[in-house]
Amino acid sequence: MTVHFHASASPEACPALVLNADFRPLSYYPLSLWSWQDAIKAVFLDRVNIVSNYDKAVRSPSFEMLLPSVVSLKTYIKPSRHPAFTRFNVFLRDRFSCQYCGSRQDLTFDHVTPRSKGGMTTWENVVAACSCCNLRKSDRLPGEAHMWPAHKPYQPTVNDLHQNGRLFPPNYLHDSWMDYLYWDSELEP
């Protein structure tokens, strides 16, 4: 089926927020979003319920459908208890700031105990660091370099990363998503 977009804006500007079967986002950061094509495919495969729509439609010669703005999975997916050890998740745990100087520019990661001195590439030994601090610390222990991380590195929980992710909302939040995001934020009087 050939689908044509019927609106002035591009359908790429209409991602769908994906909620678990309990109506919580699958992920806060990065926010769980599907392209309009993936959302429509999931609708046709009967894997999701449409919770809310955009006012924009796609159509074929025999069919027209509003683009979903929020979908919920029909089957509950149990969230992972332990997040993957990735560069992005280290940055998220450390709130996208160098643990030595606080800079948010040119981030990389640093082994607190250098690998050459027995340090492992683990949650408990890796921190976000700007390139300048990483070069300045070099291959030395914190005491030798007189550089200590602002926070002791640790293995975060999924909840830790979700909490930190809420501090960095995406550039675009559609109004229809707001009822499903940030449930634990303070309500306005």
Per-residue pLDDT of the chain (189 residues; tens, 9 = 90+): 434 333 445 667 789 999 999 998 887 767 788 999 999 999 999 999 999 999 998 888 988 999 999 999 999 998 777 888 999 899 999 999 999 999 999 999 999 999 999 999 999 999 999 999 999 999 999 999 999 999 999 999 988 888 887 777 666 677 888 777 755 444 444
Could you give phi then psi for residue 180, rounded to 5 degrees?
-115, -5
> What is the architecture of the domain spanning 87-167?
Orthogonal Bundle (1.10)
Q: How far apart are CA 186 and CA 151, in angstroms?
A: 27
Query: Pick from 111, 100, 98, 183: which is nearest to 141 by CA?
Result: 111
The sign of the dihedral angle between the CA atoms of 147, 150, 156, 158 is negative
| In the chain, ranges of CATH 1.10.30 domains | 87-167
Contact 50, 36 (CB under 8 A): no
For residue 151, what are the CA distances in angstroms to 83, 112, 170, 175?
Answer: 19, 11, 25, 36
pTM over 0.75? The answer is: no
